[in-house]
Amino acid sequence: MEIVICRTYEALSQAAARVVADLVNRKPNAVLGFATGSSPLGLYKELLRLHKEKGLDFSAVTTFNLDEYVGLPGDHPQSYRHFMNENLFNHIHVPMQNTHVPSGTSANHAAFCESYEKRIRECGGIDLQILGIGSDGHIAFNEPGSSLGSRTRMVTLTEQTMDDNARFFKKKSDVPRHAISMGVGTILEARRLLMVVNGKNKAAALAAAVEGPITSMITASALQLHPDAIVFADEDAAAGLKMRDYYDWIQKQARIKP
């Protein structure tokens, strides 16, 4: 796992966006996995800039999102489909039929989850999956205790997650208690993983994920099992890393031409 520590959230977002842009330029029909939440917003803002100013072309890209709240239709202002449309899809000329966000209103959630996995396979798998991390160390909605081999499924959210997400709703009681989420096993099948982490409130979770034991209680720790995972963190999020000096040393050496 590569750990890249940036001075600011803006620098983190720009560095992460370059990874995405490099892939799209190299493989115009790339399959991208997207995440919602506040952490990747800066990355998406930078992708919009690269699209408008540098001509970054998303017209042949296919996308899959990690999760969606159960019970919220796609036009609900707090649905993840609405989030992605407003913050990215509506502005980069990606064909809407190429964008996939789990349905929170399916009549048969189990059947939908199987079809979502099948569609990912039909598209050749995900080339690059973007991730955030919850304050308790979860990725997507794979709450503590989720199997590290789990697949896309309906999950029950913890009170901690509901508390964390309550700020997006008028009141906590409006936060859905269930979601459709890619499983940890599904996520690990992506060819490359990119996690963005910012803020002091994520420092403990990041340290546990990258330096602690691999455990279902910190589902982000499963990234340690992946052969090609990169983490971009700002200074606040990196505050709890015990091997900070080593990560800085690695980055310094990478800038020195052999």
Q: Which residues are catalytic?
A: 67, 136, 138, 143
As a whole number of angstroms, the distance between CA 140 and CA 53 comes to: 31
- CA atoms 52, 82, 44, 149: torsion sign: negative
Please tell me the distance from the alpha carbon of residue 67 to that of residue 103, in angstroms, as a whole number. Answer: 9
Give the Å distances, CA to CA, from 8 to 5, 134, 168, 204, 248: 9, 19, 24, 18, 15
Are the beta carbons of 24 and 61 closer than 8 angstroms?
A: yes
Q: Which amino acid is at 111?
A: A
Structure tokens at 176: 């859905």
SS3 31: strand
Using CA atoms, how far apart are residues 35 and 179, in angstroms rounded to an integer? 14
- Residue type (1 letter), 138: H
What are the tokens at 123?
């598209």
